[in-house]
Amino acid sequence: MSQAVGNTALAYARVWHHVDASDRILGKLAERIALVLMGKHKPIYDPSVDCGDYVVVTNSRNVKVTGRKEEQLLFRKHSMYPGGLKETPYETMKQKNPDEIIRHAVSGMLPKNKLRERRLERLKIFPSDRMGIMGGNIMRSWEDGTLPPDFNPSIPTTGTTLKMLKESQASQGNSSS
C-alpha cells in the first residue's frame, strides 16, 4: 500500500484568506500577504511552483505607516518619455487609489521572477468593507486564524461582521440575565 503524502491535488488547492487592513502597519501586512501569495505557509512549498492562496484585503483606506512616511513617501512612475517622471505623495495616493499602496508594497516583497505577476493577480484589494461577490469564497479570516464554529461560506466573515456578532451575543447575554 502506498503512503504517498504531498503533491496531491488537495495539497495544491487554493484557499481564500481575508485580511482587514484597518489600523495595520503597511510593511508587516504586506510581508504576511506576500508569504500567503507565495504559499510559504504550506508544507508543500517549493520556490519554483506557484502553490499560494488568494488574499482579499478590505479597508485598504485605513492602513497605517510608521514614522514620517506619510509626509516623505513618494510613489514614482515613468512614461518612458523624456521628462515623463510622475511623483505622487502618499496622502494623495491614499485618497485617490488606496489599493495601489498595498499592491505596491506586496509587489516589493515578492520575488522578482516570472511568477510575480500571477501571484499579484490573486491579490484582491477593496478600499472599504464591501467586497462584493468575493466574500462568499473566503475560508480563513486573519483576526485569530481560525474558523468560527458556525461558519457559513455564503456569509463573508470580516472584522466588522465579527464585531457585530460579538456585540449581538453580548447584548443577548445581558438581556437574558
Tens digit of each residue's pLDDT (9 = 90 or more) over 143-158: 554 555 666 666 665 6
Contact call for residues 135 and 158 (beta carbons, < 8 A):
yes
User: Helix, strand, or coil here: 87?
Assistant: strand
> CA–CA separation, 65 vs 78, rounded Å?
25
Tally of CB atoms within 10 A around 61: 15
Q: Is the pLDDT of residue 29 over 90?
A: yes
For residues 76 and 131, which has the higher predicted lDDT (pLDDT)? 76
Question: Which amino acid makes up residue 137?
Answer: N
- Please, is 166 exposed, middle or buried when counting C-beta atoms within 10 Å of its C-beta (0-12, 13-18, 19+)? exposed
Q: What percent of the chain has pLDDT over 90?
A: 55
Contact call for residues 58 and 20 (beta carbons, < 8 A):
yes
pLDDT of residue 131: 81
What mean pLDDT is predicted for residues 95-103?
Answer: 95
